[in-house]
Structure 1
Amino acid sequence: EANDLLRAESDTVVRLRKSHTEMVNMNRELQEKSRAAESVKQQLEKELLQVQTTLDTERRTCSQGSEEIRELQ
């Protein structure tokens, strides 16, 4: 009976170590994916800012053109 308990305990230890190793690996993968996602997010935010700046410039240009047309009428 003691041998059975020892074997069961040993099996449990092996499973726990395996689970721990798997969790560590998953955690590492998730951290890498998180860093990659953060990098993409920052790039997209930078692109959004550039597009917004371009849009604002085009709106001002269009508005100035409309004013000039009104003045000419």
Structure 2
Amino acid sequence: MLVERRSLKASAISSTRSATPVLGLVFGGAQVLVTTSANDHVTLDDVEFARSLAREAAMFAGAVERVFHGLPNGPAVAGR
């Protein structure tokens, strides 16, 4: 799905100690909320999922930055 830049938004919704964090992604009229399966309990699987999501998001951001700066998007280009 291609949407205008001004309609894209990502935000981490702060959590309280009794609730798990929520990541909100808004793409125009569509919204996705990412959280764990249980609202009151975080497991090791949840932590591993969150770390994997962060790694993938960092790789995506690096690829976008390389394209923005006109750099090749290959394995020889060091990521952050």
Same fold, judged at TM 0.5 (above) = no
Radius of gyration: which is bigger?
Answer: 1
Q: Normalising TM by the smaller chain, what interval?
A: 0.3 to 0.5
Structure with greater strand percent: 2
User: TM-score, structure 2 length as denominator?
Assistant: 0.35
**Relative contact order, higher structure (CA 8 A, sep 6+):** 2
User: TM-score, structure 1 length as denominator?
Assistant: 0.38
